[in-house]
Structure 1
Amino acid sequence: MFETLIRGATVVNAERQERRDVGIAGGRIVALITPGGTAEAATVVDASGCLLLPGLVDAHAHLREPGLTHKEDFSSGTHAAALGGVTTVLDMPTDEPWTASAEELADKMATATGRLHVDVGFQAVVSRDLSRIAGLLALAPVSFELFTSDVPEAFLFRNFDMVAEALRHFGHADTLIGISPGDQSILTGANERNKTGTIAAFLDSRPPLAEAGGVARAVLAAAATGARIHVRQINSEPGVEAWSRLRDRADASVETTPQNLFFTADDYETQGARLKGSPPLRSRQDVEALRAALKGGLIDIVATDHAPHAPAEKAAAYAAFADIPGGMPGLQTLLQVMLKLVDEGLITYLDVVRMCARNPAERFGLGRRKGRIATGYDADLLIVDPRLSSSISDADQVSRAAYTPFDGWSVKARLTNVFLRGREIVRDQVLTGAGQGKVVRREH
């Protein structure tokens, strides 16, 4: 007898979709049953006519704790994630302080325990003190993050030699290093040439050339050192081309974000601070190149770069556009915006699962527990009803950012239930089980 049985749904994995009833016990999926089979359960959930997806895994989010909790914290951020069908959040290390030592990572894990609505894995930052890597590895973060521009000097790897030397320190470690493909030399030079503080000056300081060069540097450095890398959010045609040409030279994956698949730099004129982030939004031609890459399977992961700020911070007056705090919320809207791409016919439900569940789980060391609906896996499950529509609005957002760049959009499907390890945590956009999340670590 199962603890829970979900009947009547079409189970969607990255490889295929098929009608199956799903039996759950002990927080895991224990059986996939042909419809009509005999099964008993303490709780039966009728999902007839619905799709059953694995919970999403967001590989790039900033929960802002410790030190920046006026922007977000573990509770508010994972509340947003739960409502959006993201059952595992991979948290970036750029809080206050940055997660750069074993002590800081251990403290962060301890602080999060008991305060999470979904599961959270933590990422550590590579600092210029490379002796810290061994201690961090012992705590099994889901990944490390290496920055090449736009960060404090203690975390800046500004050239090819510095990147390669850092990657060599990982040796044959079973981990992943995320690399943001910026170029500090271009950023510095552009800022020195143009001090107007305009949107155009901001765009010129982070051009597609910097992204393409950063992609090439990251992949070639990984090839030379044997490191496993993940290239953070690309969004330009030259960046896509560099990735397409070089990706097979190393053990590398790449991501983009939902906002980069819809908005262009022209949208700064109407949305301004709400859309300001890094990398900057690009031209319509860049967006179309990125969409073609997504449709063609060149993009491994779609992640949000959920980076909320307090409303007053975004609304304040700044001397330069570049000074506006960069980033926007995204955890609560990831599934809906991906389903918008399904509505448009650009991708399928299978693609959503591949890029937002299976691939991030496997790449970040959680692939034996998360990212698919299969026996032995955590019963992190989403019931999506394609017969119902849903809408996105500022008023519904629970992140402390209190807005979404996708305000006013509608989607031809609705997320009705969210399960975390077999326990229902969301029903009809309301939390039903608080504090069920755990800290998860990279599995070797």
Structure 2
Amino acid sequence: MFDLVLRGATIVEACGTLRADLCVSDGRVAALLDPDTPAAAKVERRVDGCYLLPGLVDAHVHLRDPGLTHKEDFTSGTRAAAAGGVTTLLDMPTDEPWTDSVDTFVDKQRIARGRLHVDVGLQVALRRDATQLEAIRALGPVSFEIFTADVPAGYLHDTQASLLHALRSVKPLGTLACVSPGDQSILEAVAKGGVVEFLASRSPLAEATGIAKIILAAAQAQTRVHVRQTNSALGIDTFRRMRGLADVSIETTPQCLLFTADDYATQGADLKASPPMRTAKDRDALLAALRDGLIDIVATDHAPHSRAEKTAAYASFADIPGGMPGVQTLLATMLHFVATGDIDLPALVRMCSTNPAQRFGIGERKGTLARGRDADILVLDPRLDTRIAHADQFSRAGYTPFDGMRVPGRLTAVYLRGTLIDESGRTATPEPTGQVIGATKHGFA
């Protein structure tokens, strides 16, 4: 007897769609049956006319826990994820303290225990003087994060020699190296000021230079590398031309696909982040890369701040805390691009579930509704629509840059390992059921 059977839906995978009834046992997908095949189950639910998607995997999230919990914490951030259909998120290491050692990693695991509404993988910052790498790797991080600009000196790999050394250090660990592209020399050459100066300090040239350096160093070190969010035409073109040199993937974000620098005039501090919003030409190039499959992963860079921090007065635009909430709106914003015809539902699953799961080493459990995988299931009703609103957000940031957007399709149920955790934006479990999960095998299938 199955624990759960969902009947009457169309299953969406990265490779296409399938009409089948989905059966769950012991938290995993147990079978995909021809529609209405007799099957005994403890719970049977009709979801006729709906789509079943694998839970989304957000590969770039800042939960701010520990140390910055006035901005967000494990409980609020993962509750927002559950409401938006992100059943696995990968937490960046830039908290207080940074996650960069065995002690900080173990402490973060301890703090998260019993407070997660969805599953969480942890990422580790690679210091310039990194030690304990084998011991850290044994704990199961999903990546080692390498920064090339705009971070404290102990984490700054701003020369090609330092970047190459970092990638060579990660290679024997068998773990993905993630690098944020930038150019510290360009950043330091621009005086602080308003939006214009902020854009100049993090220019397309800086991004493209960073991407070129990353790919060349990865080719030399023969290390698997993921390039963190990009959003410039020059950066995308550089990646397109050079990606064949190394085992490399790339990500962008919904905000970079939707906004331009002109939107600072209305959204101001709420939209301030790195990389900055760019020109319409840059956004159009990014959309073209999305359509033709060049973009491997769409993540959110969910990075909330308190309203007091965002609305305070600052001497320069660069001083405004960078980042915005996004994990709750990942599915809805991607449905916008389905509605515009830029992508289809299988492409959404590929970029927001299957690819991040495979690339970050959790593909043996996540990213697909194949038999044996975790039963992380989204029920999407295409007959309804979704309106994104400030008032519905669970993040402590208390706002969304996508307020007012209306998209076809509504998430009506979210399952984590076969347990209903959210139903139409309402918590469906008395206690959080998420776990800290570790990487096993990295790469694309």
Same-fold status (TM-score > 0.5) = yes
Distance in 2, matches of 1:99 and 1:176, equals 16
Q: Which position in structure 1 is the counterpart of 2:169?
A: 169
Distance in 1, matches of 2:182 and 2:140, equals 27
Match of 1:407, SS state, is coil
RMSD: 0.7
Distance in 2, matches of 1:297 and 1:246, equals 16
| Cα drift, residue 71 of structure 1 | 0.1
Contact 2:128 2:162 in 1 (8 A): no
Query: Is structure 2 residue 122 aligned with structure 1 residue 122?
Result: yes
Distance in 2, matches of 1:139 and 1:36, equals 43
Match of 1:175, SS state, is coil
Distance in 1, matches of 2:126 and 2:202, equals 22
Q: Which amino acid aligns with 2:250?
A: V
Query: Is structure 2 residue 16 aligned with structure 1 residue 16?
Result: yes
| Cα drift, residue 311 of structure 1 | 0.7
Query: Is structure 2 residue 318 aligned with structure 1 residue 322?
Result: yes
| Cα drift, residue 430 of structure 1 | 0.3
Contact 1:172 1:226 in 2 (8 A): no
Q: Which position in structure 1 is the counterpart of 2:300?
A: 304
| Cα drift, residue 32 of structure 1 | 0.2
| Cα drift, residue 277 of structure 1 | 0.2
Q: Which position in structure 1 is the counterpart of 2:61?
A: 61
| Cα drift, residue 136 of structure 1 | 1.4
Distance in 2, matches of 1:140 and 1:119, equals 14
Distance in 2, matches of 1:190 and 1:244, equals 28
Contact 1:244 1:298 in 2 (8 A): yes
1:135-146 correspondence to structure 2 within 5 Å: 135-146=135-146
Q: Which position in structure 1 is the counterpart of 2:45?
A: 45
Q: TM-score, normalised by structure 1?
A: 0.98
Q: Which position in structure 2 is the counterpart of 1:439?
A: 436
Q: Which position in structure 1 is the counterpart of 2:217?
A: 221
1:256 to 247, 252, 265: 252
Deviations 1:54-99 (A, max 9, x none): 0000000000000000000000000000000000010000000000
Query: Which structure 1 residue ranges, 4+ long, deviate > 3 Å from structure 2?
Result: none
| Cα drift, residue 16 of structure 1 | 1.1
Q: How many residues align?
A: 440
Q: Percent identity?
A: 56
In the alignment, structure 1 segments of 5+ residues that lack a partner are none
Query: Is structure 2 residue 401 aligned with structure 1 residue 405?
Result: yes
Deviations 1:355-390 (A, max 9, x none): 000000000000011000110000000000000011
Distance in 2, matches of 1:106 and 1:245, equals 40
Query: Is structure 2 residue 73 aligned with structure 1 residue 73?
Result: yes
In the alignment, structure 2 segments of 5+ residues that lack a partner are none
Q: Which position in structure 2 is the counterpart of 1:382?
A: 378
| Cα drift, residue 171 of structure 1 | 3.2
Distance in 1, matches of 2:311 and 2:133, equals 39
Q: Which amino acid aligns with 1:346?
A: D
Q: Which position in structure 2 is the counterpart of 1:203?
A: 199
Distance in 1, matches of 2:287 and 2:206, equals 20
Contact 1:51 1:384 in 2 (8 A): yes
Distance in 2, matches of 1:327 and 1:383, equals 29
Q: TM-score, normalised by structure 2?
A: 0.98
Contact 2:148 2:184 in 1 (8 A): yes
Contact 1:100 1:132 in 2 (8 A): no
| Cα drift, residue 175 of structure 1 | 0.6
Contact 1:233 1:257 in 2 (8 A): yes
